[in-house]
Chain A
Amino acid sequence: MRAEAMRPAADEERWILKLYTAGQTPKSLKAYENLKRICEEHLPGRYQIEVIDLVKNPRLAKEDQIVAIPTLVRKLPDPLRKVIGDLSDTDRTLVGLQLRSAAGGRQS
């Protein structure tokens, strides 16, 4: 399990993101890179990414209802959101994380 150091944020809510992978597959690595890039751009200083390798912890797949790999779960803020895939489609990732509405406008 790898954990990204969280940079403290003063004014806005904290984001807790979990990225579920199954081993270090190309798709997983790509997803992590894409996620990091998006977070740096949209949530600088107020995000935390936890990468969970389900090969090491298969139990968590059942507990967190993971089927597809890779899956990104927005734990906080509520409500829970899931984005699956290698996140190469940035727009859809942003929609999935509700960082941008489906119409295209960026959220606060």
Chain B
Amino acid sequence: MVREAPSGAARVAASLPKAPTGISGLDEITDGGLPRGRPTLVCGSAGCGKTLLAMEFLIHGATQFDEPGAYITFEETEEELAQNVRSLGHDVERLIAEGKLAFDHVHVERNEIEEAGEYDLEGLFLRIGLAIDSVGARRVVLDTIESLFSGFSNPALLRAELRRLFRWLKDRGVTAIITGERGEGALTRQGLEEYVSDCVLLLDHRMQQQVSTRRMRVVKYRGSRHGTNEYPFLITEQGISVLPVTTLGLNHKVSSERVSSGISRLDAMLEGGYFRGSSILISGTAGSGKSSIAAHFAAAACARGERCLYLAFEESKAQIVRNMRSIGIDLEPALARGLLHLEASRPTSQGLETHLAQLHHRVNDLDPQIVVVDPVSSLAAAGTDADTAAMLLRLIDFLKGRGITAMLVSLTSGDGALESTDYGVSSLIDTWLVLRDIELAGERNRGLYVIKSRGMRHSNQIREFVITSEGIDLLDVYAGPEGVLTGSMRIAQEAREKAANVSRRQEVERRERELAVRRAALRAQMLALEKEIESIDAEARIASTESTAAESIRADARIAAATRRGSEDEDEQ
């Protein structure tokens, strides 16, 4: 059964078949595994993890890929080996009982043996052959075959026999791992790399600034593309874990969904929040409020019901909870609901690789939507700058590959440009917020601005932000001739505006009063005029009544006169 290896391995597999190791990360850097049907040399100094790597190769083969294996050990006994891997949860005895693994401990004791004449190593061939045939092995490990050189006195003959052995292993079509001790100026003491030329892995275990670091490198891989860097690896409870840059290409899934920063005015600056699955860097000087922004983000995520992994390297869990409560962010409910995983550790407690591997494991366990690392800059204490940069690159790449929104907090030193990060990670970052102290008019105030935010329109203003007991608040921008006004200058500006407002309001009120008076005057005038009209009307009515009365009087008088004249006429006739 051949399992499809990740990335471009399927394409390569057509030309060069591979046997996956099942070791996390190793299959990625070898582009699918070790060359199938060929021997691979794994070399390194004592205690670098050769035996474990070989053992895992066999055990994974037997348990995951249906490829039984044969382990030929020249140094440790079956019992010792079984014990070594039992702590990693592998039951070797059971695999042997099920016929999936075969062991043979080849023990050569020099002072028991006298050499008298010509010999060959046919006995070894037969034993390997037997181990292979007894389980139908597809994978073989020879660990450490160089021990033979101390058991026999004729190196020329051994070399010839080893050459024959590797040829023979190839002919049998088994995928083999041959381990070798690191030699002076050469990969192995006996120059095994001359015979095993298809694939060579070099393991290294060194101390760097009192921190143990394990590295792995693919020195050579004939006919296959492979990662050429030194990759850190770890030996953990889960076995060997190599930490590659997760993909050799950039194949992240991209989301246009926005996630809130937890600060509504910051969301507004970013036109809706961060992109889901993007990487956010918050850099700033000491005490500029980086952690508070991170805590807002984490709390908002948990409030939405998302899981958040918060790695703290400077403050303890209790301290963070207390400090955030003082600015109105209550992390307790999220912790109680199991949504927020707040994990504090000292950056120097482990090497960078171990930190990274732990993060890998925690992310695999929790499957969080959001990861906060506060601060990444303190990790520099656990390694050199170059190592830190490489580690951060891996970290960002890993989280991006998982579609996790990552918030990295970085402490920058007060001097020098804030825009330059010490670790050169800025180019990997999608959204970069810088917090800076603005010193103006004898005050330090906090300012926030967005240096970049890929794929979205964003505000280019420097905002002043204040940390209140209700959390972070971004304030309005007051741009004056000397730049952004903050602190008391802003307050003064506000006061000026307030005063102007007051006088404006008073002016309006005055105008209103004036108008009211005029309105009242006019109204009074109107009343007077109406009264006048009324009196005129009344006058008119009186006049008309009088005229009627006079008319009737006149009429009466005419009648009376006529009457009087009539009697006079009669008298005259």
Interface residues of A, Cβ cutoff 8 Å to B: 20, 22, 27, 30-31, 34, 54-55, 58-59, 61-62, 65-71, 80-90, 92-93, 95-97
Contact = CB atoms under 8 A, between A and B. Distances in A.
B116 A67 contact: no
B129 interface: yes
The 5 closest A-B pairs by CB, nearest first: A96-B114, A85-B117, A86-B117, A92-B116, A88-B117
Interface in B105-145: 106-108, 112-124, 126-127, 129-130
A51 to B, nearest CB: 14
B114 A95 contact: yes
B130 A82 contact: no
A62 B134 CA distance: 13
B424 interface: no
B152 interface: yes
Given A67-B106, A69-B122, A84 B116 contact: yes
A55 B112 CA distance: 24
Contacts of B117: 30-31, 34, 85-89, 92-93
B130 A62 contact: yes
A54 B113 contact: no
A65 B114 contact: no
A90 to B, nearest CB: 8
Instruction: Describe B's contact surface by its main secondary structure.
Output: mixed
Contacts of A54: 122-123, 126
Interface of B: 104, 106-108, 112-124, 126-127, 129-130, 148, 151-152
A65 B107 contact: yes
Centre residue among B106, B113, B126, B129 by max chain A CB count within 10 A: B126
Instruction: Describe A's contact surface by its main secondary structure.
Output: mixed
A58 B127 contact: yes
B156 to A, nearest CB: 14
Centre residue among B108, B115, B124 by max chain A CB count within 10 A: B115
B122 A22 contact: yes
A55 to B, nearest CB: 7
Given A62-B104, A69-B120, A82 B126 contact: no
Nearest to A94: B116
B548 to A, nearest CB: 156
Contacts of A81: 112, 114
B116 A89 contact: yes
A90 B116 CA distance: 7
Nearest to A71: B123
Contacts of B107: 65
A67 B130 contact: no
Given A67-B127, A84-B115, A88-B117, 7 more contacts: A58-B127, A68-B119, A68-B124, A85-B119, A90-B116, A93-B114, A93-B117
B116 A88 contact: yes
Nearest to A102: B114
A22 B126 contact: yes
B119 A82 contact: no
B440 to A, nearest CB: 83
28 contacts: A22-B122, A27-B118, A54-B126, A58-B127, A58-B129, A59-B130, A61-B126, A65-B107, A67-B121, A67-B123, A67-B148, A67-B151, A68-B120, A68-B152, A71-B119, A71-B123, A81-B114, A84-B119, A85-B115, A85-B116, A85-B119, A86-B116, A87-B117, A89-B116, A90-B116, A92-B115, A93-B117, A95-B114
B496 to A, nearest CB: 96
Contacts of A20: 123
A66 B123 contact: yes
B241 to A, nearest CB: 34
Nearest to B126: A58
Nearest to B104: A62
Given A54-B126, A59-B130, A61-B126, A68 B121 contact: yes
Contacts of B118: 27, 85-86, 88
Given A27-B119, A67-B121, A84 B127 contact: no
Contacts of B115: 83-85, 89, 92
A59 B488 CA distance: 91
B119 A70 contact: yes
